[in-house]
Amino acid sequence: MIVTVTLNAAIDRTLLVPNFQLGQRHRASAGTTSAGGKGINVARAARRLGVPVVCTGLAGGRAGTLLVEELTNEGILNDFVRIRGESRTSTAVLDPTSNVYTEINEWGPEVSEDELSVLREKLAYLSQGAAYVVFAGSLPRDVDPGLYADLIREANRRGLMTVLDSEGDALRLGIEAEPYLVAPNLGEAEALVGHEFVDEEDLTSALDEIADLGARNVLITLDTGCYGLFREERADNVRVRARAPRLEAVSTVGAGDTLLAAFIAARMNDRSYEDAVRSSVAASAASVLEAGPGRFDFREAQRLGSHVTVDRLEPVRQDA
């Protein structure tokens, strides 16, 4: 089983607004409401792949109640800690004529130490039957940025495969706790290593730089695929580049979350790293054809798999 942890879960409100312009009055052609947050997106995609998964995290107020109801309606198992603060609402405007996506995210609730203690207890209970625990998304306001690192160390001690997908200090400190896998996107990876990537050599080198920070395995997710470094028992490093076919995207939001879920699902089924990367990039590509993170057509993902290219990469030599 996979347990996903979303500490800053949200209600995602997406509006389709043709020819959207700032400062003008518009009428949305359609609107959707769903439970959101990176961990929830991962869970939604994992469920579509037939992997047992349960969501946990923090949920409060009316938005928190709606969030739990939405997950239950989708058939996604969940067990959230109820908090006193109000869970955030994220509003997005998608212009289908230009495919421009505008997103407004609230900061999220304040969380007390006693609420975090309840979360730790719940996570320890839920993870008893888990193989992977995925810590994903931002932290609520004023929460210690080292929280993910603490939770990862606790899970590591219990022999769990820990996965981290966050940003900023929470990501940097979390990697130092030596998670099994870290999955930054391009911008997050650049922030970790301290410079922009201008070519493939930079991306390949960054895999090793991020691994040296503490992560055993690294996935850098891109709009067009991913770069990965994988090592069993910290030996025989495998570096790969995977590229998806070019598609006319409906929405790229959550594509990286789908990629991460599909990679974990493939590894749970004992597929090789190369096969896992191929199937995860295919699922990510299929997800951009649908509106809503974590949603994709499984048959389309299978079809796209034959069009994904996966190449081995050599390590970048460092000048003496």
Domains of the chain: 1-10+30-90+105-166 (3.40.1190.20), 180-320 (3.40.1190.20)
- C-alpha 194/C-alpha 247 separation (Å) is 31
Q: What pLDDT is recorded for position 15?
A: 87
Cβ neighbourhood burial of 233 (10 Å; 0-12, 13-18, 19+): exposed
66 within 8 A of 82, measured Cβ to Cβ: no
Q: Tens digits of per-residue pLDDT, 14-58?
A: 888 999 988 989 988 888 888 999 999 999 999 999 999 999 999
Band of the pLDDT at 82, cuts 50, 70, 90?
Answer: very high
User: Can you tell me the mean pLDDT for 280-300?
Assistant: 91
pTM comes to 0.92
- The DSSP 8-state label assigned to residue 127 in this structure reads G
- Residue 87 confidence (pLDDT) above 90: yes
Q: Tens digits of per-residue pLDDT, 187-216?
A: 999 999 999 999 999 999 999 999 999 999
- 3-state class of 262 per DSSP? helix
Q: What pLDDT is recorded for position 320?
A: 39
DSSP 11-28: EEEEEE-TT--TTS----
User: Can you tell me the mean pLDDT for 146-175?
Assistant: 97
Provide the token pair at 134. Answer: 């995925």
- Where is 218: in which H helix or E strand? strand 217-222
